[in-house]
Amino acid sequence: MSQENTEKETVTGKEVIQEQDNELEVQDNETEVQDDVKEKKMSRREMKEEKKEKERAEKLEKELEETRAKLAKEKDDYLRLMAEFDNFRRRNAQEKLELVSVAAEETIKGLLPILDDCERAMDALSKSSDSDAAKEGTELIYGKLLGYLKTKGLAAIEARDKEFDTDLHEAVAQFPVEDQEKKGKVYDVVQTGYTLNGKVIRFAKVVVGI
């Protein structure tokens, strides 16, 4: 009996060990399953995080492109505005120059009759027996006035014995001449013409030989 009991105990011990081994194997299997589940969960979480990062990167890229486009538009608008302002400044400066030029031209035009009077006075004095002081005084006034106006760009138009030019001369009369070389040329000047900085402000009134 003792031997049988011993054998039964031995068998029972083996069974217990086997059961423990089975339990351990089951636990190992459960652990492996849990690990697999954890790995899958981690994998899914990582995939979600990766997807979020990708979406975030795409969003940032889109915002960057929009910002670049906005900056390019603002730069273009700025350049256009600067060009328009520069054109405005130039036009404004040009208008001011033209205004000053017109004002100066009108002022000088108003002084031309005084030059005419001086010329008539000198012509009359040259034919009279008045004192030389009157002649010299008139010539001095005429010379100073004409000299000042010349500094402003005034110049007398040369007309006598010149070819008649409609851009410079205004024919007020014709005079028959025998010399063929004088035909079509200015025979006499009735009123002196002037230019201001190259622009005709008064045509020379002339008599043309025919």
* Residue 174 lies inside a defined structural domain of this protein: yes
| The residue to which tokens 């130039």 are assigned | 90
* Residue predicted with more confidence, 169 or 24: 169
Rounded CA-CA distance 145/151 in Å is 10
| CATH label of the domain that carries residue 206 | 2.30.22.10
Rounded CA-CA distance 137/149 in Å is 18
Segments forming the whole domain that contains residue 83? 2-110
* Residue 34 lies inside a defined structural domain of this protein: yes
Residues 78 and 178 in one domain: no
Return the amino acid letter for 40: K
The values of phi and psi at residue 161, to 5°, are 65, 10
pTM for the model stands at 0.56
**How confident is residue 9, by pLDDT bands cut at 50, 70 and 90?**
low
- The model's pLDDT over 102-153, given as tens digits with 9 standing for 90+, comes to 888 899 999 999 999 998 888 888 877 766 778 888 899 999 999 999 999 9
* Residue 55 lies inside a defined structural domain of this protein: yes
* Residue 15 lies inside a defined structural domain of this protein: yes
Residues 89 and 165 in one domain: no
Distance of CA 101 to CAs 167, 194, 199, Å? 21, 16, 11
